[in-house]
Amino acid sequence: MRGLSRIGHGAILIFALAACTSDPATSRARIVALYYAAGVATYCSGLTEQAVAGLQRAVELERVASPLDETEMIAARNRGYVAADYEWSNRGLGGFRRWCLSEGAASIRWLEGLVDTPDAPLPPAIRPPATSYRPYEQTRAGNDG
């Protein structure tokens, strides 16, 4: 029995170490996608308690496994929220309705599903756009708007 227990603990340790060596770009993209989906769900009035719980669980899992430091995590979070804001603003009067029925509903379902499966991949219906978002300090320092 003791040998099996050691093997089990060793497997868990190997898995945890493998998770901690994830690629920074992949981790950053995952954080951006999580907060983009949360922003979309918020704009579409669908950020349920279960969706918030799924977001929190997935972010915590990513925080433990990610090679990103706290500043990079915050920047990725901001990038996701700003991307959702850009998409919302880009819809025009009433154009958000179709967006909420497609990408909004997919975002809500995905976030709610993260409660049970926090490492679920991003569904194809959710497409965080690339943004040219730069933190306030960068734009202010260069005074280039």
The secondary structure of residue 104, as a DSSP letter, is I
DSSP 17-60: HHHHT--HHHHHHHHHHHHHHHHHHHHTT---HHHHHHHHHHHH
Q: What is the pLDDT of residues 1-53, one digit of tens each?
A: 444 454 444 334 334 444 444 788 899 999 999 999 999 999 999 999 999 99
Query: Using CA atoms, how far apart are residues 101 and 28, in angstroms rounded to an integer?
Result: 27
Q: Please tell me the predicted confidence (pLDDT) of residue 30.
A: 94
Q: What's the pTM value of the predicted model, to 2 decimals? A: 0.75
Query: What are the residue ranges spanned by the domains of the chain?
Result: 23-142
Mean pLDDT of the chain: 80
Query: Using CA atoms, how far apart are residues 135 and 39, in angstroms rounded to an integer?
Result: 18
Q: What is the pLDDT of residues 77-128, one digit of tens each?
A: 999 999 999 888 888 777 888 889 999 999 999 999 999 999 999 898 888 8
Sign, CA dihedral 64-65-69-75, equals: negative
The secondary structure of residue 129, as a DSSP letter, is P
Residue 11 CA, distance from chain mean position: 27
Let me know: does 80 contact 32? Beta carbons within 8 Å: yes
Q: Maximum CA pair distance of the chain?
A: 66
Query: Using CA atoms, how far apart are residues 80 and 43, in angstroms rounded to an integer?
Result: 13
